[in-house]
Each structure stands twice: as C-alpha cells, then as structure tokens.
C-alpha cells in the first residue's frame, strides 16, 4: 500500500468549514488522523471558516460543508463530508488507488 505521491512532495490541504459545528470538528479530527498516518511531516492544513471569510467560498467553488480541497499536489481534488469514511477519503485524496480496493 504505497502512496502514489513522491515522498518529498508537500501536500497543501485546505479544509472549508462554517463555524465550530460538530461536523467540522469531526472533519478536522479525521483529516488530522489521515495525514499523520500517511503524510507525516509533509503536509499543511489550512482551515477556512466561511462564516468569517465568506468571500473565499467562490474561489474553490465551495457548496457543501465541510469540503476538503487538495491544492497540492495537482490536480486539485475535492472531498465533501466529515471524512468519517477513511477509506473513501484516502481514495479521494489519491493516497490509495481506487482499484486496489478496500
């Protein structure tokens, strides 16, 4: 189970939330867990609270909350939801090829 990403690549992740809702807290916790497990030391997480910065929502075409956006490495990926399904989150982040299966 090797990540397709190169080891020296830096992952820039952005998590969009709207206030401190249970969903966003869960999402952040889940994300942290995944990153520590697979991308330890080479990731950054930026949390954007749209209640404070609503103008940022349009830029990444945010509709659903929470949304995780993989800014780097390219291409851009979006994962919607609280990331409670870790397997699907890994597939979505392309940390695990979809075919190799769960």
Partner 1 sequence: MNKLDRQRVATTRSLLKCRTGIQGLDEITGGGLPRGRPTLISGSAGCGKTLLAMEFLVRGATQFNEPGVFMAFEETPEELTQNVASLGFRVADLVKSGKVNIDYVRVERSEIDETGDYDLEGLFVRLGHAIDSIGAKRVVLDTIETLFSGFSNMAVLRAELRRLFRWLKEKGVTAVITGERGETQFTRHGLEEYVSDCVILLDHRVTDQVTTRRLRIVKYRGSAHGTNEYPFLIDETGINVLPITSIGLEHIASTERISSGVPRLDGMLGGKGYFRGSSILVTGTAGTGKSSLAAHFCRAACLRGEKCLYFAFEESPNQIVRNMRSIGVDLEPFVKKDLLHFHAIRATILGLEGHLTEFHKLVEEFAPQVVVLDPVDSLVQAGTTKDATAMLTRLIDYLKMRQITALMTNLISGGELVESSGVNISSLVDTWLLLRDVETGGERNRAMYILKSRGMAHSNQIREFLLTDHGINLQDVNLGPDGVLTGSARQVQEFRERSSARARLDEIERKQRDLKRKREAFEARLVALRKEFEVEADEADWMLSLEESRDRILQSERDEMAIKRKADPISLDRQRKASKGEK
Provide the binding-site residues for partner 1, judged by CB under 8 A: 16, 18, 23, 26-27, 30, 50-51, 54-55, 57-58, 61-67, 76-86, 88-89, 91-92
Separation between Cα atoms, residue 90 and residue 34, nearest integer Å: 8
Contact 58, 65 (CB under 8 A): no
- When the beta carbons of 22 and 41 are compared against partner 1, the nearer one is 22
Q: In angstroms, give the least distance from the CB of 68 to partner 1.
A: 9
Of 37 and 76, the one with the shorter C-beta distance to partner 1 is: 76
Q: Which two tokens stand for residue 16?
A: 């969009």
CB of 37 to partner 1, least distance (A): 15
> Quick one: DSSP state of residue 34?
H
Nearer Cβ to partner 1 (38/77):
77
Distance CA 35, CA 33 (A): 6
Distance, CA of 62 to CA of 87 (rounded, Å): 23
E strand or H helix at 48: strand 43-49
Output the smallest distance, CB 80 to partner 1, in A.
5
Q: Toward partner 1, which CB reaches closer, 41 or 101?
A: 101
């Amino acid at each position: 189970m090797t990540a397709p990403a190169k080891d020296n690549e830096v992952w820039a992740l952005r998590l969009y939330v709207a206030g401190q809702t249970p969903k966003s807290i869960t999402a952040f916790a889940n994300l942290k867990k995944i990153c520590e497990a697979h991308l330890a030391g080479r990731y950054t997480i930026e949390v954007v609270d749209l209640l404070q910065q609503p103008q940022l929502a349009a830029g990444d075409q945010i509709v659903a909350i929470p949304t995780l956006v993989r800014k780097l490495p390219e291409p851009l990926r979006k994962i919607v939801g609280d990331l409670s399904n870790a397997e699907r989150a890994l597939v979505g982040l392309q940390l695990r090829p979809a075919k190799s299966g769960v």
